[in-house]
Structure 1
Amino acid sequence: MFTYTIQQDGQTIERLLREEWCLGKKIVHELRMAKAVTLQDGTAALWKEPLTTGTLLKFDFPTPSSSYQPTAQCEVVIRYEDEHCLIVSKPKGMSTHPNEANDTNTCMNHVMAHIQANGGSYAEHVHRLDQGTKGLLLVAKHPIAKSVFDRMIEEKTIIRTYAAEVQGNIRTDSGVINAPIGKDRHHNTRRVVSASGQHAVTHYEVVQRFKNSCVVHVILETGRTHQIRVHMAHLGHPIIGDTLYNARQTATNDYELHAIQLEFQHPFINERVVVKDNAVQK
């Protein structure tokens, strides 16, 4: 269950769900049939009746249980949480979600431990991070939030910023890489820039320069597998240590890619939320 405060006179429940949150017909129908939306005092709300600013709506509907097996306790750091979502800091080397039945130590397994410890049953990741990438991961806490945040990812209104140190010094201080990405026919896990691949756009800015490398902040416009790694290598500046993409090997035999910030206009609390991997601002 969650609450929502109407933001402008004349808003209706119908328009809120269909036009503002852009929910699909199925979920809107299910909410209507379940009489899931009521006024603050519990009385039924008329879906097409204009409401006044400040009207509090209560949403109460059956929530399915997510299938992730919870760990004994949650051992991932939670950077932000409200009744609609949470943002966790996924450690390097941990998968976002299980890929096989015996995967029980992924980020979502830890998240489910936190959810269940607080009386919940539902959690679904909105995007994903590669196993070797650390940092911020957005998780929806109910199906309506999942639907709305999924759309926001598609519409590019959730801004995801990453940091990486790459080989060499990129000539320009900033730029956009617009190059489609597809699977490498000769390597199971590798991706390549390919004319037949999926549309992929990456924005980068050089924030620090060293003799033989530079640190870039990267914003994803799309979210393809290995997108930053592929695009930086395509630019001729692979992430240091990313040997899969022809970077030089490091002492740790690994690469460093960090999801350092998430920023979005929260669709349910109507505030701008900026979460950094060491702080949260609103």
Structure 2
Amino acid sequence: MKPLNKLLTMTWTVSNSEEGLVLREFLRARKQLSRKTLADIKYGGGNIEVNDAPVTVRHLLKKGDIVKITFPAENVSGVIQPFYLHLDIVHEDNHLLIVNKPPHLPTVPSIHNEHSLAGAVLFYYQQCGIPSTFHAINRLDKDTSGLLMIAKHRYAHDQFVRMQNKGEIKRTYRALVHGQLTVESGTIDSPIGRKDGSIIERVVRPDGQRAVTHFQIINVYHNTSLVELTLETGRTHQIRVHMSHLGHPLIADTLYGGIREGLSRQGLHASRLDIYHPIVERYFTFETNLPTDMLGYIAQCNS
């Protein structure tokens, strides 16, 4: 990849319907830049130009004007320790990085200097001259593998998180669970909240947050099922809690009733993402195969 040593810029052409807008309104309402992002640009070393001339956000726009913003270099958290790890990059552009996260690696460090995906991404950014910090759009548990979205700047992060909060990013997982489900497919609509007395464990409870998971059986291997699951909401440990609630905890998920037999982590893999990329204005589908440890477990079941 060619190093990206210059600061990120974004350019828009003012349309007929946008003529007469004040630049602040154009950027906030039409392009959805947050107040914080605009403040970072103004005070953090960025720039706002119209037709290659610096302007203030009070500038009045005309049809055909070229609006260009330059984002400042971002401050990297001192908690995240960069380190080399070969990244399985599924997609990359100037705004978005999608990687296939391995198991046994936290998305962000929970303690100072802990190795994490964030640290590996920051090392990669440093090697490529990308002046950004780590902006995870979705997060995966330490022992969950699969597709993880990372915004390469604040603006992209704002856009994708807004879409995720509206349920506009479709996330599909594959899980190995104990037993055979009694139905081929279905929907679990059961609220999830923190378990009393625990800061980690979640349970289905009536006063929890609404949580919706759709599932479909892919295959059955003796007393294990491979299930495809799609999230409609994104609660902590949602799939793990819902499958345990059904009486079919994930293989090796000892926190929620699974038995560790032949797999060293919960059998959960983020296998597919269906997204609309609002900056390049395209739809994308990204998919990954099951990792070797889950495939090995299936082979063991079939032997």
**Same fold at TM > 0.5:** yes
Contact 1:14 1:48 in 2 (8 A): no
Give the counterpart of 1:88 among 78, 96, 99.
99
Query: Which residue of structure 2 lines up, in the alignment, with residue 237 of structure 1?
Result: 248
Query: 1:2: which partner in 2?
Result: 9
Instruction: Report the counterpart of residue 191 of structure 1 in structure 2.
Output: 202
- Structure 2 residue runs of 5 or longer lacking an equivalent are 1-7, 290-303
Q: Aligned residue for 1:18?
A: 28
Distance 1:51 1:137 in 2: 39
Quickly say closer, same or farther: Cα 1:85–1:207, change in 2 above 3 A.
same
Asked whether the 8 Å contact 1:21–1:267 carries over to 2, the reply is no
After superposition, what is the alpha-carbon deviation per residue over 1:60-94, rounded to whole angstroms, capped at 9, x for unaligned?
Answer: 121322212211x2322111111111011111000
Deviations 1:223-282 (A, max 9, x none): 22211000011112111222221123312343210001122110110011212126xxxx
> For residues 1-282 of structure 1, what are the structure 2 equivalents within 5 Å?
1-4=8-11, 9-11=16-18, 17-28=27-38, 30-31=40-41, 36-38=47-49, 42-44=52-54, 49=61, 51=63, 57-67=67-77, 68-71=80-83, 73-103=84-114, 105-122=115-132, 123-277=134-288
Which residue type is aligned with residue 59 of structure 1?
A: I
Query: Any gaps of 5 or more consecutive residues in structure 1?
Result: none
Change beyond 3 A, Cα 1:251–1:147: same
RMSD between aligned residues: 2.6
Displacement after TM superposition at 1:159 (Å): 1.2
CA contact (8 A) 1:2 1:83 kept: no
CA distance in 1, matches of 2:277, 2:187: 27
Alpha-carbon displacement from aligned partner over 1:108-141 (angstroms, at most 9, x marks no partner): 0000011111112322111210011001111111
Whole-Å separation in 1 of the counterparts to 2:108 and 2:26: 32
Distance 1:265 1:5, change over 3 A: farther
Secondary structure at the aligned position of 1:150 is classed as helix
- Cα distance in 2 between the residues matched to 1:21 and 1:194: 39
Tell me the percent identity.
34
- 1: CA distance, partners of 2:229 / 2:255: 20
Equivalenced residue count is 273
Deviates more, 1:86-95 or 1:195-204: 195-204
Q: TM-score, normalised by structure 1?
A: 0.85
> Any conservation in 2 of the 1:66–1:124 contact (CA below 8 Å)?
no
- The 1:203/1:42 distance shift into structure 2, 3 A limit, reads same
Query: What is the DSSP-based 3-state SS (H/G/I as helix, E as strand, rest coil) of the residue aligned with 2:227?
Result: strand
Q: 1:173 to 1:77 in 2, by over 3 A?
A: same
In 2: Cα distance, 1:214 partner to 1:8 partner:
53
Contact 2:11 2:68 in 1 (8 A): yes
Partner SS, residue 97 of structure 1: coil
Q: In terms of mean alpha carbon deviation, does 198-207 or 84-93 score higher?
A: 198-207
Answer with 225-234 or 247-256: which moved more.
Answer: 247-256
* Corresponding letter in the other structure for 1:75: H
